[in-house]
Amino acid sequence: MKYLADIGSYFIMLGNVFSRPTKTSVIKELIYKEIDELVINSLGIVIFISFFVGGVVAIQTALNIDNPLIPSYLVGFATRQSVILEFAPTFISIIMAGKMGSFITSSIGSMRVTEQIDALEVMGINSLNYLVYPKVIALLLYPFVIAIAMFLGILGGWVAGVYGGFSTSDAFIQGLQEDFKPFHVVYAFIKTFVFAFILATVPSWQGYFMKGGALEVGKASTNSFVWTSVLIILANYIITSLLLS
Amino acid sequence: MIRVENLHKSFGEEEVLKGISTSFEKGKTNLIIGQSGSGKTVFLKCLLGLFEAETGKIFYGTKAIQEMNDDEKKELREHMGMVFQGGALFDSMTVEENVMFPLRMFTKKKKEEMLHRVNEVLTRVNLVNANKKFPSEISGGMQKRVAIARAIVNNPRYLFCDEPNSGLDPKTAILIDNLIQEITQEYDITTVINTHDMNSVMEIGEKIVFLQKGNLAWEGDNTQIFKTTNKDVTDFVYSSDLFKKIRDIQNMEN
């Protein structure tokens, strides 16, 4: 029963997020602030992880190829497929569930504990629209983060493959171009938009409806990471089944 | 003026407010007092519209909040100011931005006009040279002043304060009490203060509503409260040693 009530409150929250809009000039500023906090501030960790994980994918693929019949361009091909289809959109989103999601839950949860949300409501402001809507709009830029992760993942694979002596540059680039299906990129970005919506709304819901004090803010942040990750993985499975199978 | 008629509020099977009827007068500091768990905060949150009462009505002017549509409620809330127990200042904003917030949300004033008004109310609450500081950088008393400034910046008709003195030393508490009373008279607003501080009752209790276990047990002013024979009220008033001693001295003098 509790899960049903939670699902219900999540969808009621979504309804309120998109109703009774806040003044445009104020919401515009909030969107810029959220872009800075959620998108720009995430770039450092995304760049670091993407580059090195791309390199690891290339090295592991190369080390597992010991059959001379397997073409050498497979290193580039496997790196491209892994990075574009799963690593960049899904793996990075789960990392973002930890970084971005915890930040959203703890900031909204702290506002709940210190009555700042009550203060907004007393002033007649739709607190859900004020707090959550800018995050949803800011995360429309999330696919750019994932595009950067894709590019750097492949670049990391090329650097590790070529300079580690596992592949030649020509073979790696041939692998990148081999059997390339543009729809795979479309599929990756479709699921990125879905993950962005989950990343903006589930942690907000956890923070907004939390009760208690500082300890509960911590618990809500942990729950936020768990539920956001679970929903991203479920959404990944459903979207993949619908679009690729 | 705010008029309350037969207000009931329950949480599950527990009835917290059991049919409260009273009124809060314009231009006066109206105090809601009572022990912890008497229903003061729930009553205040019902007045603010943060909790919906099961039965009963709260009239703001001539219209009950229960009969207002969303637009009317929104308009009413634009005329409300609230000072929360902990201040509830937005910690990501400076003092100036906090006070300016209601103006940005509800007026079309230019930035210079807003800044002028912000400085005006900050001066009124005796807070200067703190505009660019964040709430975490100022003292509890200063935070309360900022909260009062934010509450009055948009010229509200109704001012609500939840335990405005909690966590403050006695001297600062009296300053905050006096400030609220002066502002109430100066702006001719209806002020409702939720407190259990007897110093506030003595200083600014122009109308006092005493709640006991969700019932309105007594109402009067700060002179009548020391003469009442209502046992619940006298138990509450003379629960501190200081007031007991004052009563004993007065009895001896008489």
pLDDT digits (tens, 9 = 90+) for B227-249: 888 888 888 877 767 777 777 77
Identify the domain boundary among B122, B155, B188. B155
**Six-digit token pair at B42?**
């729930």
Confidence of residue B78 (pLDDT cuts 50, 70, 90): confident
Q: Is B78 within 8 Å of A124 when comparing Cβ atoms?
A: yes
| β-bridge mates for residue B14, sequence order | B11
**For residues B153 and B150, what is the distance between their CA atoms, to the nearest angstrom?**
5
Q: Is A114 within 8 Å of B86 when comparing Cβ atoms?
A: yes
Confidence of residue B169 (pLDDT cuts 50, 70, 90): confident
Return the C-alpha torsion angle B35, B36, B37, B42, nearest 10: 100
Confidence of residue A139 (pLDDT cuts 50, 70, 90): very high
Q: State whether residue B243 sits within 8 Å of chain A by CB.
A: no
Helix (H, G, I), strand (E, B) or coil at B6: strand
Identify the domain boundary among B128, B155, B182. B155
- Do B52 and B168 lie in one domain? The reply is yes
- Do B207 and B129 lie in one domain? The reply is no
- Nearest-5° Cα angle at A81, A49 to A175: 110
More confident residue, A109 or B65: A109
Mutation target to probe the A interface, by most A beta carbons within 10 A, among B65, B82, B152 is B82
- Do B193 and B203 lie in one domain? The reply is yes
pLDDT over 90 at B201, yes or no: no
Q: State whether residue B111 sits within 8 Å of chain A by CB.
A: no
What are the pLDDT digits (tens) for B96-132? 999 999 999 888 889 999 999 999 889 888 888 888 9
CA A226: distance to chain centroid?
Answer: 14
So what's the pLDDT on residue B132? Answer: 93
Structural domain span for residue B226: 2-79+156-253
Kind and range of the H or E element at B11?
A: strand B2-11
Confidence of residue A12 (pLDDT cuts 50, 70, 90): very high
So what's the pLDDT on residue A138? Answer: 96
- Do B176 and B234 lie in one domain? The reply is yes
What are the pLDDT digits (tens) for A76-86? 999 999 999 99
Quick check: ipTM above 0.90? no
So what's the pLDDT on residue B206? Answer: 87
So what's the pLDDT on residue A13? Answer: 93
DSSP assignment, residue A88?
Answer: I
Instruction: Name the residue of chain B whose CA is nearest to A116's CA.
Output: B88
So what's the pLDDT on residue A200? Answer: 96
- Do B206 and B147 lie in one domain? The reply is no
So what's the pLDDT on residue B95? Answer: 94
Q: State whether residue B50 sits within 8 Å of chain A by CB.
A: yes
Q: Is A115 within 8 Å of B85 when comparing Cβ atoms?
A: yes
Q: Is B50 within 8 Å of A122 when comparing Cβ atoms?
A: yes
- Do B38 and B163 lie in one domain? The reply is yes
What are the pLDDT digits (tens) for B208-217? 999 988 888 8
Average pLDDT of the residues in B22-51: 88
Q: Which residues, other chains included, contact A71 with Cβ-Cβ below 8 Å and sequence gap of 6+?
A: A171
**How many domains does one find in chain B?**
2
- Do B108 and B211 lie in one domain? The reply is no
Q: Which residues of chain B lie closer than 8 angstroms to A125, CB-CB? A: 105
So what's the pLDDT on residue B150? Answer: 92
Residue B84 lies in a domain: no
Confidence of residue B144 (pLDDT cuts 50, 70, 90): confident
Average pLDDT of the residues in B53-64: 88
Rounded alpha-carbon distances, angstroms, from residue A128 to A94, A131, B51, B75, B176: 24, 5, 17, 19, 32
Rounded alpha-carbon distances, angstroms, from residue B76 to A218, B71, B192: 36, 9, 16
Confidence of residue B93 (pLDDT cuts 50, 70, 90): very high
- Do B72 and B178 lie in one domain? The reply is yes
- Do B212 and B149 lie in one domain? The reply is no
Q: Which residues of chain A lie closer than 8 angstroms to B76, CB-CB? A: 124
Rounded alpha-carbon distances, angstroms, from residue B64 to A80, B32, B60, B67: 65, 20, 6, 5
B128 φ/ψ sector (left φ>0, alpha ψ -120 to 50, else beta): beta
What are the pLDDT digits (tens) for A18-74? 988 888 889 999 999 999 999 999 999 999 999 999 999 999 999 888 777 788 889
Confidence of residue B23 (pLDDT cuts 50, 70, 90): very high
- Do B71 and B171 lie in one domain? The reply is yes
CA distance A9 to chain B (A): 17
